[in-house]
């Protein structure tokens, strides 16, 4: 997508492209940096690297990718996957292991665990002929064959598009822990379900009064209704990807404004929650714009709150370690809490000083929709807005996570902004001292993770809602045209392929073992080097 200033650009209707694989060279990319990284506060060079401590998380990739980002650090890098395809053809079936029909829109990114793929979608192509109309749906498939296993279906909220936008379905990427799968519904509920559904013939409780209990129905263990229990009001949709760590579930509430461009509908309601993973009990809630119930006072929220939390571990200064939870917020701040309590450890304003808000999207004050990524005592996150507000100046920041209090002026390692990096709703991948970061406007960037120096950028010529995945030494990036771009994960630009699909893609590919999974608007794909598929299951 060619750059033509920062004017308003509304979402384009998704174009249906012809199938096929189009090998690509270096066209559309550039190795030149448009402007240098902003230096660390008060210095002429990036802030020195902070001390680190081993995070100690299990590797993923051989058999699972159980949550958004693979691990709680949310870093979209899979060091275990191998022999992944560079090129495939969905029309001929070359390297296509299987395909499965979803709804007509799929924003919920797939996760893979326990031999199953879980993905959020809508009810545009009903699996159950008795369940018709616009609904939010969580589907489960067999990871090896693509067989449909079960689904969880939710009515739309009666308030309409202000809180539950039509046809968007379940936008949450699930998280799997053992035999439990957690997700946020379009109705603002955090759900814990049995990964087997009712296929195992058991009704796991404490919730045992599900209205449907056939083998293709979900077996719900518990639900926590954030709207009923906490008084939140989502704006357009509830869209947090639950974080599972330490026996707890962390999620954002999606509390937002009422009408577009209006004020916060429920200013005293919280933005962040922690639940007991086993029981669904509320452990704590935090972050409100007004009122005395919560300790953390938010800044002005101009739109919705659709970010998701991440986890990291840093040295505590006394020879030990400190576990941290990072919550991105609609006011543009990153709020960091202790793992085991609602203690605010530090916060960081991700917008540049003097940034101004515009309800038409022409300002430079942004919010945080992307998920923060933790890597070696640093947190990386990009700023952006609802894509309906169009393109504009954004900012990618690298934050030293070892501080306390308001660290905006003291712990910025480096940042890139202005015309060098536009708005983004994508999560970065940090790989071998490189940061791969996508702009909404269609540009994929490669930066030096330690200094923010730009190595290259590549123009995909389509909007980017998804995020880059690094696996098997490659970068996979799906775009709004439905193409999956494949590049070398290196400091020199090398575009390897552009694999076309039948409809647009708004999510991120996932690699497990030797299989690549990704969803377009209406289809879930499994891709392997040696696979050939002639028909959908």
The whole-angstrom separation of Cα 11 and Cα 114 is 37
The whole-angstrom separation of Cα 69 and Cα 54 is 18
pTM value > 0.85: yes
Residue 29 has a pLDDT of 55
CATH 2.130.10.10 for domain 20-532, yes or no, is: yes
Half-sphere exposure in the Cβ direction for 506 (13 Å, CA): 21
Q: 497-521 pLDDT, tens per residue? A: 999 998 999 999 999 999 999 999 9
Q: 14-44 pLDDT, tens per residue? A: 222 233 334 344 444 555 445 455 654 433 3
The structure tokens listed for 146 are: 């693509």
The whole-angstrom separation of Cα 400 and Cα 314 is 10
Q: 297-339 pLDDT, tens per residue? A: 999 999 999 999 999 999 998 889 999 999 999 999 999 999 9
* Range with the poorest average pLDDT among 23-27, 194-198, 259-263: 23-27
Among residues 124, 148, 241, 273, which one has the least CA distance to residue 507?
A: 241
Paired strand residues for 45: none
Task: Assess whether pLDDT exceeds 70 at residue 10.
Answer: no
| Degrees to nearest 5, angle at CA 52 with 51 and 53 | 140
Q: Which stretch of DSSP H or E encloses residue 228?
A: helix 226-230
Residue 16 has a pLDDT of 26
In the chain, % of residues over pLDDT 70: 89
Contacts of 244 (CB under 8 A, 6+ apart): 67, 72, 175, 176, 177, 182, 277
Contacts of 343 (CB under 8 A, 6+ apart): 337
Site of tokens 């480096």: 414
Helix (H), strand (E), coil (C) string for 95-160? EEEEEEECCCCCCCCCEEECCEEEEEEECCCCCCCCCCCCEEEEEEEECCCCCEEEEEEEECCCCH
Q: Which stretch of DSSP H or E encloses residue 230?
A: helix 226-230
The whole-angstrom separation of Cα 516 and Cα 90 is 13
Residue 6 has a pLDDT of 31
Q: Tell me the mean pLDDT in the region 255-282.
A: 92
User: What mean pLDDT, rounded, does the chain reach?
Assistant: 90
């Amino acid at each position: 997508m060619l750059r033509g200033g920062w004017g308003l650009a509304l979402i384009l209707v998704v174009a249906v492209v012809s199938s096929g694989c189009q090998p690509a060279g270096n066209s559309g990319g550039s190795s030149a940096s448009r402007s240098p990284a902003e230096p660390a506060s008060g210095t002429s060079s990036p802030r020195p690297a902070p001390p680190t401590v081993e995070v100690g998380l299990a590797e993923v990739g051989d058999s699972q990718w159980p949550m958004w980002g693979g691990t709680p650090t949310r870093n979209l890098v899979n060091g275990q996957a191998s022999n992944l395809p560079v090129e495939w053809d969905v029309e001929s079936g070359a390297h296509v292991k299987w395909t499965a029909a979803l709804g007509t829109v799929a924003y919920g990114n797939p996760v893979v665990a326990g031999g199953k793929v879980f993905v959020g979608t809508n009810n545009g192509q009903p699996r159950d002929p008795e369940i018709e109309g616009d609904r939010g749906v969580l589907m489960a498939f067999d990871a090896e064959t693509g067989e449909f296993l079960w689904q969880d279906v939710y009515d739309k909220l009666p308030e309409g598009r202000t809180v539950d936008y039509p046809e968007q379905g379940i936008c949450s990427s699930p998280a799997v822990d053992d035999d439990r799968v957690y997700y946020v519904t379009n109705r603002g509920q955090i759900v814990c379900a049995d990964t087997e559904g009712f296929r195992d013939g058991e009704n796991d409780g404490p919730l045992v009064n599900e209205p449907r209990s056939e083998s293709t129905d979900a077996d719900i263990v518990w639900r926590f209704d954030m709207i009923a229990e906490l008084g939140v009001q989502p704006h357009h949709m509830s869209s947090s990807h639950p974080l599972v760590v330490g026996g707890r579930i962390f999620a954002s509430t999606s509390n937002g404004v009422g009408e577009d461009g209006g004020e916060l509908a429920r200013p005293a309601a919280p933005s962040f929650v922690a639940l007991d993973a086993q029981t669904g009990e509320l452990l704590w809630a935090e972050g409100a714009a007004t009122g005395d119930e919560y300790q953390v006072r938010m800044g002005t929220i101009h739109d919705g709150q659709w970010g998701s939390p991440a986890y990291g571990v840093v040295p505590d200064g006394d020879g030990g370690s400190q576990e941290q939870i990072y919550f991105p917020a609609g006011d543009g701040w990153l709020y960091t809490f202790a793992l085991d309590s609602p203690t605010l450890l530090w916060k960081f304003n991700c917008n540049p000083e003097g940034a101004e808000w515009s309800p038409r999207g022409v300002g430079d004050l942004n919010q945080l929709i992307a998920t923060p990524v933790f890597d070696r005592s640093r947190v990386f996150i990009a700023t952006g807005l609802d894509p309906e507000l169009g393109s504009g100046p954004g900012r990618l920041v690298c934050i030293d996570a070892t501080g306390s209090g308001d660290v905006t002026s003291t712990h910025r390692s480096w940042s890139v902004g202005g015309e060098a990096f536009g708005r983004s709703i994508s999560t970065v991948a940090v790989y071998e001292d490189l940061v791969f970061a996508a702009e909404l406007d269609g540009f994929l960037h490669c930066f030096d993770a330690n200094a923010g120096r730009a190595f290259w950028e590549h123009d995909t010529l389509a909007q980017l809602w998804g995020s880059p995945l690094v696996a098997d030494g490659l970068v996979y990036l799906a775009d709004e045209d439905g193409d999956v771009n494949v590049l070398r994960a290196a400091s020199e630009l090398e575009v390897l392929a552009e694999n076309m699909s039948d409809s647009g893609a708004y999510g991120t590919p996932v690699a497990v073992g030797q299989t690549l999974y990704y969803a377009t608007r209406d289809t879930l794909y499994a891709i392997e080097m040696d696979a050939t598929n002639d028909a959908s299951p």
